[in-house]
A and B are shown apart, each in its own frame.
Chain A
Amino acid sequence: MTAGLDRLRGGTPAKRHNARTIAALTGNPGCTRRAVLDAAGVDKPKLSQQIGFPGKFGQSRFALARGNGFEAMLKADDCALLRSVLAECLRLDASGAYDDLGEDADDTLAARHGRTRTLLAAAAGAALIDHPLLTLDVAGQRVFLEPDLIAFQAEGRLHVVEIKSFAIVDGQADSAKVSAAAVQAAVYVLALRRLLEDLGHDPALVSHDVVLVCTENFSLQPAAVVLDVRKQLSTLKRQLTRLTSVSSLAAALPESVSFDLALPPADLIAALGHVEARYAPECLSACELAVYCRHEAAGSTAALGRPVREALGGVDTVAEALALAAGTATPAAEQAEAAALLQAAARLRAELL
């Protein structure tokens, strides 16, 4: 991490990226604010609280307990249950060693990453590698990824295994949850591939078929399915290359800009004003700062959602759209068609209401 980015964060320790934050980042690649804050490791939940626009990202203890219980059940007795579902799902031999690289503090990250490299370099070593520490280049920054995942090694190939406690009922699961899991798994596949490449192996050794282990029907019994994440992988790669280099963005910021949480709210809001956000209603479920950005975006057509913005001819503000509809504003050449449609729509609404 560069000094410039560290300066933005101030005295607080950096928040680390995980697959979820990267997935969210690629979900809205045009948002400079998110890219800069994430790269600088700013604690966005605390920041949003500090400026008086707290996001709603609580997690229920019940959900956590069930998720942990399910994972513990799968990993009990040297991963007996996990091995059996993997063997059944992939038709591969799932015996072999289990290595848990564990969780650890910030200062030993490099060491853990080193252990991950060693373990993976010795191909066909352990069969199940838990909590590996991976790295990924995001917006010009090398970030550590702490995947809550197991890499399953069999016949020289690696499969990413994602354990999720949502249910598959009669072969169907909540599509939003499955697609979120697929994007996260794709982040891990990508990071694992980069790592193998670094080690001089063929990156294709990491399979694009990831295994999703969920609960079946209304029980806690595991059910494993194979997800092909090639589509998510290509989207992810494209989005990652599109992310503007954060370092240059940070370098362009004035010296006074700081997101140190010790600063008063007014200063923090002023600092946020220097980094442009691209708010969309989807942010509300993906970014802790979204409530503030929504407040800031009040009166813009983007705040009403992309479909509305497009239907309004892509103009920026609600006032502008209404002026075009009323015929009080002169449309630019490229707006002529949209303006005519808006005027017709306004006429029809006025006629019928």
Chain B
Amino acid sequence: MSTLTALARAQAVVAGRAQPVATVRHLHVHARPLVLVPLAMAGEANAPLAVLAGTDRSAPRLLIVAQPRNRDHRFAFAAELADVLVPYVDSFAGATEAVAVDRGRDVRHRFTDAPQLWVPNTGGVDFLRLFGRSTRFRSIDGEYAVPPSVPLLGRWLTFFANAAEMAGSSLLLNAVQALGLHWATGQSSAEDAQLAALLGWICPPPGRTGAQAALAAEDPALSPPAGPATDPAFDNHVLAPLMSTADPDVAALTGVLRAQLLPTWELMWRCLDLLGELPPGARVAGRWDSDRDTYSGFVQHLADGGPPQPRRDGAVAAAARLHRLENAATRYAVQRAFDDPLVMAEYRLTGAAFVGDVTLAKADRVDDSGKRPVLRPRIMVVTTEPVRVEQGAALTSPRRPSQKALVISVTAVDEHKTEVLLELSGGMGRRLVAEPGSVPEVGERLLLTTLSEAYRPGGAFPDPDQTPWTHGGPPVVQQPVAVGSEQAEQQGSEQADQQ
């Protein structure tokens, strides 16, 4: 927790409502998102109970499982969910645009839009991941056949769950995290995990403080939990009597489950409204472009008849994925800071960034000590902020991201002031005279930081069949899904039904 965010939380306590920790929106908000509010059956291994789904706020579609322990009911539910999700996801696989690759020597095509899923919380993301795992290997023929849409649903859900791990991706978002990125409440992060309480702090009803609204939101009778876990009292007093019969009253079940889910459904759309009101950060669109690339790639993978995602990645695939995740996390952190002065302030507080005034500027300085003369203007920046950079460090300024500023010297003028001498390169055109405006002028206020948006190369990993013995050696060929385990699952759930 940074001091800045902690202070915002303290201010929220006194103000009685959440305080902003971002000045721009750091994620893409889709014009037509698919909102999913899942509920799981308590105690079971991710057995779905119900989901409220849809792209239209006024027309949510409720899917329920009358007997969550019954395998056929579960897969009928999966097929119904596939009927909602697959057409939605497919609806973006239409218009494409050409993107230049390989420095303009070639083009590739990607879809002009991509799907976006919203769930209430990280539990919802985990639910989708596990539901994807339980459906994507299902066989569409044989004794335990499921409709073809079921394994397809599983592969899409797995795709979204994997994308959600990638920092900065907006393919699958959860409301709690999305809101927490932009507001700090006057309660602990453990309490923020409850969507109703979190929204109570962000926009308390008139005449109430955030704390009062959050307290009211904790009563499961007033605002049912946002899932996937249900309220135990609801399970014991409402659900259990309805489900204890062999032939449950579907209409009654539908009614009570809709009543449990509708409040969260409303909160989800309020969350989307709130985020939509914020202006998007400058780099949000660029990240959505990568999301569209990812989506286009997966559509292509499915069209090519590619296999379902493995249960577990092999050593090489896992290392490569970890590398991509780390790169994405670093890039995302830098981009957020460059987009948002309030996020950058965290770095200013620790001395990794500082704001100063340009006091000297020699824009036409040419370094001719090398083979060819090069343009290397120098500027002097004076700051009153803490400076924790050393000679030889390369700094950048969000306003001129392609320009590098090399630290020549750092001199403390007095107790508060520091002079930093910088040599600039890049981003000034190709000639020996800098393009107008490309070199900061005397009097300009400038933010400089050690954060860099520079390209990070992908890691070099061996081919899977070259996996070193330290990592288990080349992977053994995956066995096809054993029918035995399918039967076991079947028997397992039947035994549960009997008990």
* Set B2, B45, B211, B312: member contacting A166, Cβ < 8 A: B45
Q: Do A217 and B45 touch across chains, with their CB atoms under 8 A apart?
A: yes
Shortest CB distance A282–B (Å): 7
Given A308-B188, A353-B20, the answer on whether A169 and B1 have CB atoms closer than 8 Å is no
- Is B210 positioned at the interface, with any CB of A under 8 Å from its CB? no
Q: Do B496 and A220 touch across chains, with their CB atoms under 8 A apart?
A: yes
Q: How many Å lie between the Cα of A166 and that of B312 in the bound state?
A: 20
* Set A64, A305, A310: member contacting B190, Cβ < 8 A: A305
Name the B residues within 8 Å of A349 (CB-CB). Answer: 4, 7-8, 11, 342, 345
Shortest CB distance B204–A (Å): 16
- Is A56 positioned at the interface, with any CB of B under 8 Å from its CB? yes
Q: Do A299 and B188 touch across chains, with their CB atoms under 8 A apart?
A: no
- Is B186 positioned at the interface, with any CB of A under 8 Å from its CB? yes
Residue interface bits B211-247, CB-to-A below 8 A is 1, else 0: 1000000101000000000111101100110000000
- Is A307 positioned at the interface, with any CB of B under 8 Å from its CB? yes
* Set B3, B14, B488: member contacting A342, Cβ < 8 A: B3
Q: How many Å lie between the Cα of A352 and that of B20 in the bound state?
A: 11
Stretch at the interface among B36-44, B107-115, B270-278, B361-369: B36-44
Name the B residues within 8 Å of A312 (CB-CB). Answer: 3, 6-7, 10
Name the A residues within 8 Å of B220 (CB-CB). Answer: 56
Given A341-B349, A345-B349, the answer on whether A218 and B489 have CB atoms closer than 8 Å is yes
Q: How many Å lie between the Cα of A92 and that of B175 in the bound state?
A: 49
Q: Do B188 and A62 touch across chains, with their CB atoms under 8 A apart?
A: no
Q: Do A66 and B43 touch across chains, with their CB atoms under 8 A apart?
A: yes
What does DSSP make chain A's interface, helix, strand, loop or mixed? helix
List A56-91 residues whose CB lies under 8 Å from chain B: 56, 58-69, 72-73
Q: Do B14 and A60 touch across chains, with their CB atoms under 8 A apart?
A: no
Q: Do A66 and B44 touch across chains, with their CB atoms under 8 A apart?
A: yes
Q: Do A345 and B45 touch across chains, with their CB atoms under 8 A apart?
A: no
Q: Do B7 and A59 touch across chains, with their CB atoms under 8 A apart?
A: no
Q: Do B10 and A62 touch across chains, with their CB atoms under 8 A apart?
A: no
Q: How many Å lie between the Cα of A301 and that of B13 in the bound state?
A: 10
- Is B58 positioned at the interface, with any CB of A under 8 Å from its CB? no
- Is B189 positioned at the interface, with any CB of A under 8 Å from its CB? yes
- Is A318 positioned at the interface, with any CB of B under 8 Å from its CB? yes
- Is A105 positioned at the interface, with any CB of B under 8 Å from its CB? no
Residue interface bits A192-229, CB-to-B below 8 A is 1, else 0: 00000000000000000000000101111100000000
Shortest CB distance A314–B (Å): 11
Size bin of chain B's contact surface = 35 or more
Q: Do A281 and B191 touch across chains, with their CB atoms under 8 A apart?
A: yes
Q: Do A215 and B45 touch across chains, with their CB atoms under 8 A apart?
A: yes
Q: How many Å lie between the Cα of A187 and that of B304 in the bound state?
A: 54
Residue interface bits B151-167, CB-to-A below 8 A is 1, else 0: 00000000000000000
What does DSSP make chain B's interface, helix, strand, loop or mixed? helix
Q: Do A62 and B46 touch across chains, with their CB atoms under 8 A apart?
A: no
- Is B372 positioned at the interface, with any CB of A under 8 Å from its CB? no
Q: Do B1 and A308 touch across chains, with their CB atoms under 8 A apart?
A: yes
Given A67-B43, A345-B4, the answer on whether A304 and B187 have CB atoms closer than 8 Å is yes
Q: Do A69 and B7 touch across chains, with their CB atoms under 8 A apart?
A: no
* Set B2, B4, B232: member contacting A58, Cβ < 8 A: B232
Name the B residues within 8 Å of A62 (CB-CB). Answer: 41-44, 235, 239-240
- Is B409 positioned at the interface, with any CB of A under 8 Å from its CB? no
Q: Do A60 and B230 touch across chains, with their CB atoms under 8 A apart?
A: yes
List B328-346 residues whose CB lies under 8 Å from chain A: 341-342, 345
Q: Do B14 and A318 touch across chains, with their CB atoms under 8 A apart?
A: yes
Q: How many Å lie between the Cα of A65 and that of B42 in the bound state?
A: 10
Q: How many Å lie between the Cα of A215 and that of B9 in the bound state?
A: 41
List B1-50 residues whose CB lies under 8 Å from chain A: 1-11, 13-14, 20, 23, 41-47
- Is B327 positioned at the interface, with any CB of A under 8 Å from its CB? no
Q: Do B13 and A304 touch across chains, with their CB atoms under 8 A apart?
A: yes
8 other contacts beyond A58-B233, A219-B488, A304-B10, with CB at 8 A cut-off? A61-B236, A65-B43, A68-B499, A215-B492, A299-B13, A311-B3, A311-B5, A344-B386
| Chain B interface residues toward A at CB < 8 A | 1-11, 13-14, 20, 23, 41-47, 130, 133-134, 186-191, 211, 218, 220, 230-233, 235-236, 239-240, 311-312, 341-342, 345, 348-349, 386, 485, 488-489, 491-493, 495-496, 499
A-B contact pairs, 5 of them (CB 8 A): A61-B236, A218-B47, A308-B1, A341-B3, A352-B342
**9 interchain residue pairs of minimum CB distance:** A63-B43, A58-B232, A219-B492, A220-B492, A167-B45, A311-B6, A60-B42, A281-B188, A69-B499
| Chain A interface residues toward B at CB < 8 A | 56, 58-69, 72-73, 165-167, 169-171, 215, 217-221, 281-282, 284-285, 298-299, 301, 303-305, 307-308, 310-312, 318-319, 321-322, 325, 341-342, 344-346, 348-349, 352-353
